[in-house]
């Protein structure tokens, strides 16, 4: 404090010393930037309304567990067993069966997308049944243009036929080896539990990268950045002053989203709140660094938005392991994911929510995020200096 | 009202404002196409290259065979052998393996009598991939000692056929879908910024004193985004056909018509956002707040019919929902004109409503 006071006293005599860190000046900058950030309703929209909308959608709209998939059941055989199999299809809650007597009826509805598949119970069903497994009993046709749904239709329809046959007392083939799966961390296999932590990472990416890139790019676009830089405040003070409010905004948004996830959407928080906050704080380093780098490269808001969309938001969506498994990607794309900070954050978030505080899983992720953040900040610093020359 | 010369002059000005800067010229076209290439390979719901841990307490023949089959399984990259259950749990905890098999001491004896059991611990954090892994592992396990149980190799009593995409190649689904999503974001960003930028820079006031009419402003602001979005969409459809070799079975003309209507309805939404935004930041964030939920509800991630009824209704107001049906149908299903038209008229209605609203909003701003 003493040193700082001395420096201020000597401002006019020691210009070289002016550009050093000063806590009061920083505080003033933070206050100014916070006012600027909060004055714009779009900031609040992104920080507090969008997370709620996203969590709601991930909880109710984006469910990877299909239910009530619409299928057709073509009943060509009038026999009693055929009727009972049809009744079995009508009875399952995973499928929403629509009955028909002709395959042409349902085939067209498969093309239009009104049905996701159909089952044909053939005319000679009773004879086939009598022959015991040497000929297929029913035909399952799916809409392969939606591969994921097609898989569900196949599996559920198979399950219905198998269950129905077991109920008939026909000897079901037994296996010599049976696997007993136990799903840790998520025994109910609710996909929302795995998706909602990912949604938090998306929101943090939008706040950290997109918002920061826009805010700083606006200063360059309007020419006010040069004006601020010509004041006695140092570059570090100005940048920290700009980034701190968005850091705080991101953390508040995470807290809000986490509270919503735990108390409304029933996602367990098995790790500690401290770990969650620490991980989020660490993730903000590369996110903010990326935003800063984008803004100093683009220097106008349109470019900044485009770059942030394609380098920040979409990769966080597609390449972070939040929707799609990283292991299953081809090697060159797996290599790209190493450079995406959201990848480490999604992984850590899933662990802290569903598994607990597992330090061995956190440490490599934290180190990777910090390293990427350091690279972004260094590059941003160079780009800023070049802009000024 | 409408003057052609004035319109042309404004159109040229709008195109220049987006494409004048060589950097933005590149950024409008190159990243979406790169993203298509990367995401087409990244988005897969298969399971590959996973590690599996095994804690084997049995020394008999059948556990040996099971391990050999695991080693040979194509979806597994490494089988990690451990010597304690604690280590098994550790590997799952750290996320180093997706599943861990615990083979009990009496496994081979039990298999010989027809009732072998092995426990599989699965990482539930990866719930979807975990379930697929269990299905793969079960298939492997079912093959063990198949000869021991009579009737065991009796086929499942069904025959399955996947229409339109017999091998369920996920890329055939993802590439047409991505075409819509990437074109949507590009068109939305360009249009949402168009009016907001003029207002932020103060040039919008100059339109007040010029003889330009509101419809002219709307048309001149729509056309560049419409042209860029359609071009981008066509480019990506071309990539789908020629680069990814996805079968294209439907009518190109109808797809082009749908693409234009789709982009036009997105442009309408973008202009509405732009008209209510005072700054570029508001416009971009507004575009995000609309675009991201729209993509999630469009049926790209999960079928619309699986969502709650209220959301299904909302999904009908999203242009992407209808375009996805058309583009997937045209690529794979040889969708007939009647089914395409059933999705075209909602697009036309959305375009009409949003463009009218945008005109009204701009007019109220001008006064």
Domains and CATH numbers, chain A: 25-61+189-388 (no CATH), 69-168 (3.40.1710.10)
Distance, CA of B324 to CA of B173 (rounded, Å): 10
- Is the minimum CB–CB distance between B337 and chain A shorter than 8 Å? no
- Among residues A219, A290, A316, A342, the alpha carbon closest in space to that of B281 is found at A219
- Is the minimum CB–CB distance between B187 and chain A shorter than 8 Å? no
Task: Select from A328, A333, A361 the Cβ nearest to the Cβ of B94.
Answer: A361
Residue B230 has pLDDT above 90, yes or no: yes
A264: left (phi over 0), alpha (psi -120 to 50) or beta: alpha
Which of A49, A147, A242, A348 best tests the B interface by mutation, with the highest count of B CBs <10 A? A147
Where is average pLDDT lowest: A56-60, A246-250, B86-90? A56-60
Q: What is the pLDDT of residues B209-224, one digit of tens each?
A: 778 788 888 888 888 8
- Among residues B208, B219, B353, B191, the alpha carbon closest in space to that of B277 is found at B191
Work out the average pLDDT over B44-53.
86
Which of B303, B318, B324, B333 best tests the A interface by mutation, with the highest count of A CBs <10 A? B303
- Is the minimum CB–CB distance between B310 and chain A shorter than 8 Å? no
Residue A17 has pLDDT above 60, yes or no: no
Distance, CA of B262 to CA of B180 (rounded, Å): 9
pLDDT at A133: 59
**CA nearest B170 in A: which residue?**
A147
Distance, CA of A197 to CA of B362 (rounded, Å): 40
pLDDT at A61: 77
Question: Per the structure block, which two tokens stand in for A25?
Answer: 């000046």
Mean pLDDT of chain A: 83
**Residue A7: which pLDDT band, with cuts at 50, 70 and 90?**
very low
CA distances to A328, B70, B80, B82 from B50, rounded to whole Å, are 8, 12, 11, 16
Question: Can you say how many angstroms the Cα of residue A141 is from the centroid of all Cα atoms in its chain?
Answer: 32
CA–CA min distance A25, chain B (Å): 27
CA–CA min distance B78, chain A (Å): 12
Task: Select from A41, A147, A185 the Cβ nearest to the Cβ of B168.
Answer: A147
**Residue A46: which pLDDT band, with cuts at 50, 70 and 90?**
confident
Would you report the helix, strand and coil content of chain A in percent, each value rounded to 5? 65, 10, 25
DSSP characters over B11-62: HHHHHHHHHSSHHHHHHHHHHHHHHHHHHHHH---S--SEEEEEEE---SHH
- Among residues A81, A79, A109, the alpha carbon closest in space to that of A97 is found at A109
pLDDT at B117: 84
**A388 or A159, higher pLDDT:** A159
Task: Select from A53, A141, A318 the Cβ nearest to the Cβ of B293.
Answer: A53
Listed by number, the residues of chain B in 37-96 with a beta carbon closer than 8 Å to a beta carbon of chain A are: 38-39, 41-50, 62, 66, 90, 92-95
Work out the average pLDDT over B128-142.
84
Contact (CB, 8 A) for A150 and B163? no
Residues pairing with A141 in the sheet: A118, B161
Put simply, the answer to whether A144 touches B168 (Cβ < 8 Å) is: yes
- Is the minimum CB–CB distance between B363 and chain A shorter than 8 Å? no
Q: What residues of B are in contact with residue A68 (Cβ under 8 Å)?
A: 305-306
Put simply, the answer to whether B189 touches A305 (Cβ < 8 Å) is: yes
Q: What is the pLDDT of residues A164-189, one digit of tens each?
A: 877 765 544 556 677 788 888 877 77
- Is the minimum CB–CB distance between B142 and chain A shorter than 8 Å? yes
The 3-class SS string of A82-147 reads HHHHHHHHHHCCCEEEEEECCHHHHHHHHHHCCCCEEEEECCCHHHHHHCCCCCCCEEEEEECCCH
Residue B136 has pLDDT above 90, yes or no: no
CATH 3.40.50.300 corresponds to the domain B50-143: no
Distance, CA of B67 to CA of B81 (rounded, Å): 10
Q: What is the pLDDT of residues A324-367, one digit of tens each?
A: 888 888 899 999 999 999 999 999 999 999 888 988 889 999 99
What phi and psi values does residue A11 have, to the nearest 5 degrees? Answer: -50, -45
Distance, CA of A128 to CA of A122 (rounded, Å): 9
Question: Per the structure block, which two tokens stand in for B263?
Answer: 């982009």
Contact (CB, 8 A) for A148 and B45? yes
pLDDT at A20: 62
Q: What is the pLDDT of residues B168-198, one digit of tens each?
A: 888 999 999 999 999 999 999 889 988 888 8
The proportion of chain A whose per-residue pLDDT surpasses 90, expressed as a percent, equals 24
- Is the minimum CB–CB distance between A168 and chain B shorter than 8 Å? no
Q: What is the pLDDT of residues B86-112, one digit of tens each?
A: 998 889 888 889 999 999 988 888 888
3-state class of A75 per DSSP? strand
3-state class of A362 per DSSP? helix
Question: Per the structure block, which two tokens stand in for B69?
Answer: 């089959």
Work out the average pLDDT over A244-251.
91
Put simply, the answer to whether A147 touches B165 (Cβ < 8 Å) is: yes
Could you tell me how many residues make up chain B? 367
Which of A177, A221, A317 best tests the B interface by mutation, with the highest count of B CBs <10 A? A177
**CA nearest A129 in B: which residue?**
B157
CA atoms within 13 A on the CB side of B186: 32
Listed by number, the residues of chain A in 304-363 with a beta carbon closer than 8 Å to a beta carbon of chain B are: 305-307, 309-311, 313-314, 318-319, 323-325, 327-330, 333, 336, 347, 350-351, 354-355, 358, 360-361
B121: left (phi over 0), alpha (psi -120 to 50) or beta: beta
3-state class of A77 per DSSP? coil
> Tokens 């992984």 identify what position?
A347
Q: Supply angle C-alpha A344, A347, A353, rounded to 5.
A: 135
pLDDT at B146: 64
Work out the average pLDDT over A70-88.
88
Would you report the helix, strand and coil content of chain B in percent, each value rounded to 5? 70, 10, 25
Task: Select from B148, B331, B332 the Cβ nearest to the Cβ of A176.
Answer: B148
**CA nearest A142 in B: which residue?**
B162
pLDDT at A365: 94
Residue A315 has pLDDT above 60, yes or no: yes
Work out the average pLDDT over A6-21.
48
pLDDT at A19: 53
The proportion of chain B whose per-residue pLDDT surpasses 70, expressed as a percent, equals 95
**A161 or B147, higher pLDDT:** A161
CA–CA min distance A195, chain B (Å): 9
pLDDT at B243: 93
Q: What is the pTM of this model?
A: 0.86
Q: What is the DSSP letter of B267?
A: H
Q: What residues of B are in contact with residue A310 (Cβ under 8 Å)?
A: 27, 31-32, 34-35
**Residue A43: which pLDDT band, with cuts at 50, 70 and 90?**
confident
Enumerate the CATH 3.40.1710.10 domain ranges in chain B, comma separated.
50-143
Work out the average pLDDT over A24-38.
84
**B140 or B153, higher pLDDT:** B140
- Is the minimum CB–CB distance between A92 and chain B shorter than 8 Å? no
Put simply, the answer to whether B170 touches A139 (Cβ < 8 Å) is: no
Contact (CB, 8 A) for B233 and B319? no
**B142 or B101, higher pLDDT:** B101
pLDDT at B6: 82
Q: What is the DSSP letter of A174?
A: P
Q: Where are the alpha helices (DSSP H) in B202-250?
A: 204-209, 214-238
Distance, CA of A285 to CA of A377 (rounded, Å): 9
Q: What is the pLDDT of residues B277-311, one digit of tens each?
A: 988 889 998 998 899 899 989 988 778 887 888 88
Q: What is the pLDDT of residues A330-342, one digit of tens each?
A: 899 999 999 999 9
**Residue A12: which pLDDT band, with cuts at 50, 70 and 90?**
very low
> Tokens 């159909």 identify what position?
A118
Question: Can you say how many angstroms the Cα of residue B351 is from the centroid of all Cα atoms in its chain?
Answer: 22
Task: Select from A136, A145, A350 the Cβ nearest to the Cβ of B173.
Answer: A145
CA–CA min distance A312, chain B (Å): 12
Work out the average pLDDT over A41-69.
81
pLDDT at A175: 63
What phi and psi values does residue A295 have, to the nearest 5 degrees? Answer: -65, -35
Q: What is the pLDDT of residues A21-30, one digit of tens each?
A: 678 888 888 8
Reported ipTM: 0.84
């Amino acid at each position: 404090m003493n040193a700082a006071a001395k420096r201020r006293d000597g401002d006019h005599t020691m210009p070289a010393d002016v550009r050093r860190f000063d806590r009061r000046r920083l505080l003033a900058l933070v206050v100014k930037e916070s006012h600027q950030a909060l004055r714009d309703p779009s900031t609040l929209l992104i920080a507090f309304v969008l997370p709620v909308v996203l969590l709601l959608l991930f909880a109710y709209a984006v469910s990877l567990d299909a239910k009530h998939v619409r299928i057709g059941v073509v009943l060509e055989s009038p026999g009693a067993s055929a009727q009972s199999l049809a009744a079995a299809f009508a009875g399952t809650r995973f499928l929403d069966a629509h009955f028909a007597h002709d395959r042409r009826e349902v085939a067209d509805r498969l093309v239009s997308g009104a049905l996701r598949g159909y089952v044909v119970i053939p005319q000679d069903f009773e004879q086939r049944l009598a022959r015991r497994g040497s000929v297929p009993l029913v035909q399952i046709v799916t809409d392969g243009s939606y591969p994921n749904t097609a898989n569900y239709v196949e599996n559920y329809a198979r399950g219905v036929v198998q269950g129905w046959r077991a109920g008939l007392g026909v000897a079901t083939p037994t296996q010599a080896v049976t696997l007993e799966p136990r799903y840790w961390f998520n025994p109910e296999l609710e996909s929302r539990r795995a998706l909602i932590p990912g949604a938090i990472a998306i929101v943090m990416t939008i706040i950290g990268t997109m918002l920061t890139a826009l805010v700083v790019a606006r200063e360059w676009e309007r020419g006010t950045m040069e004006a601020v830089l010509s004041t006695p405040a140092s570059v570090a003070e100005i940048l920290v002053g700009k980034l701190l409010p968005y850091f705080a905004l991101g953390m508040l948004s995470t807290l809000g989203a986490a509270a919503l996830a735990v108390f409304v959407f029933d996602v367990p928080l098995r790790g500690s709140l401290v770990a969650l906050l620490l991980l989020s704080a660490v993730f903000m380093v590369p996110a903010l660094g990326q935003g800063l780098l984008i803004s100093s490269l683009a220097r106008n808001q349109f470019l900044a938005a485009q770059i942030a969309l394609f380098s920040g938001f979409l990769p966080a969506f597609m390449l972070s392991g939040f929707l799609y498994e990283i292991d299953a990607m081809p090697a060159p794309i797996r290599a790209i994911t190493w450079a995406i900070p959201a990848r480490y954050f999604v992984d850590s978030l899933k662990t802290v929510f569903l598994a607990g505080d597992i330090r061995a899983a956190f440490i490599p992720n934290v180190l990777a995020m910090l390293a990427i953040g350091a690279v972004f900040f260094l590059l941003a610093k160079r780009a800023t200096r070049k802009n000024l020359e | 009202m409408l003057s052609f010369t004035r319109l042309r002059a404004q159109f040229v000005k709008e195109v220049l404002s987006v494409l004048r800067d060589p950097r933005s010229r590149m950024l409008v076209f190159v990243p979406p196409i790169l993203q298509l290439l990367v995401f087409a390979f990244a988005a897969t719901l298969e399971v590959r290259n996973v590690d599996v841990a095994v804690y084997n307490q049995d020394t008999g023949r059948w556990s040996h065979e099971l391990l050999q089959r695991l080693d040979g399984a194509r979806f597994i990259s490494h089988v990690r052998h451990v010597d304690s259950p604690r280590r098994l749990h550790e590997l799952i905890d750290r996320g180093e393996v997706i599943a861990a098999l615990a083979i009990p001491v009496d496994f081979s004896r039990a298999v010989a009598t027809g009732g072998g059991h092995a426990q599989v611990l699965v990482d539930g954090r990866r719930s979807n991939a975990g379930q697929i892994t269990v299905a793969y592992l079960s298939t492997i396990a079912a093959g063990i000692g198949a000869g021991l149980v009579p009737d065991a190799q009796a086929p499942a009593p069904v025959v399955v056929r996947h229409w339109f995409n017999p091998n369920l190649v996920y890329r055939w689904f993802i590439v047409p879908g991505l075409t819509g999503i990437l074109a949507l974001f590009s068109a939305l960003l360009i249009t949402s910024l168009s009016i907001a930028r003029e207002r932020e820079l103060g040039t919008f006031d100059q339109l007040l004193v010029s003889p330009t009419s509101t419809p002219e402003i709307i048309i001149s602001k729509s056309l560049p985004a419409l042209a860029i979005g359609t071009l981008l969409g066509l480019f990506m459809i071309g990539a789908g056909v020629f680069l990814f070799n996805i079968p294209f079975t439907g009518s190109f003309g109808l797809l082009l018509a749908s693409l234009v209507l789709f982009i036009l309805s997105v442009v309408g939404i973008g202009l509405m956002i732009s008209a209510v935004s005072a700054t570029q930041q508001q416009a971009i964030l507004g575009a995000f707040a609309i675009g991201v939920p729209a993509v999630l509800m469009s049926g790209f991630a999960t079928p619309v019919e699986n969502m709650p009824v209220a959301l299904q209704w909302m999904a009908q107001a999203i242009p992407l929902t209808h375009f996805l049906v058309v583009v997937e149908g045209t690529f794979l299903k040889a969708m007939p004109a009647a089914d395409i038209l059933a999705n075209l008229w909602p697009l036309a209605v959305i375009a009409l409503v949003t463009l009218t609203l945008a005109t009204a909003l701009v007019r109220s701003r001008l006064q």
